[in-house]
Amino acid sequence: MDEQRFACSGEIAILSDDTVEITELPIRVWTQNYKESVVEAMLEGSEKQKYTIQDYKEYHTDATVRFVIKMTKEKLREAEMEGLHKVFKLQTAINTTSMVLFDAAGCLRK
């Protein structure tokens, strides 16, 4: 993105001409919050949300995320043309100006 920010993306794959699978969410995005604010909003549809989905299933474990999402073929093609990561909100920005990390010696550094 620039010298002080970088993008963190989730993982999405097309399984068939009407199905996608999300197997990873971006850093700082929690499964339940994502489900409520993105997936269920797409299921209900609205004036703001033009990429409606038909159905979704969840196959999560305590260590993994897996949403299998059904859409019409037409809606999936439109979403693919716009960019699946953008449509499914699977990209966040990480700001490096306020990071605290461990150095090679194991000491915290700003």
Q: What is the CATH number of the domain that holds 74?
A: 3.30.1360.40
Domain tally for the chain?
A: 1
Domain range enclosing 62: 5-109
- pTM here is 0.83
DSSP output for the chain: -BTTEEEEE-EEEEEETTEEEEEE--TT--HHHHIIIIIHHHHH--SS-----SEEEE---SS---EEEE--HHHHHHHHHH-HHHHTT-EEEEESTT--EE-TTS-EE-
Question: Residue-wise pLDDT tens for the chain (110 aa)?
Answer: 677 888 899 999 999 999 999 999 998 899 999 999 999 999 987 777 777 899 999 999 999 999 999 999 999 999 999 999 999 999 998 887 877 888 899 888 87
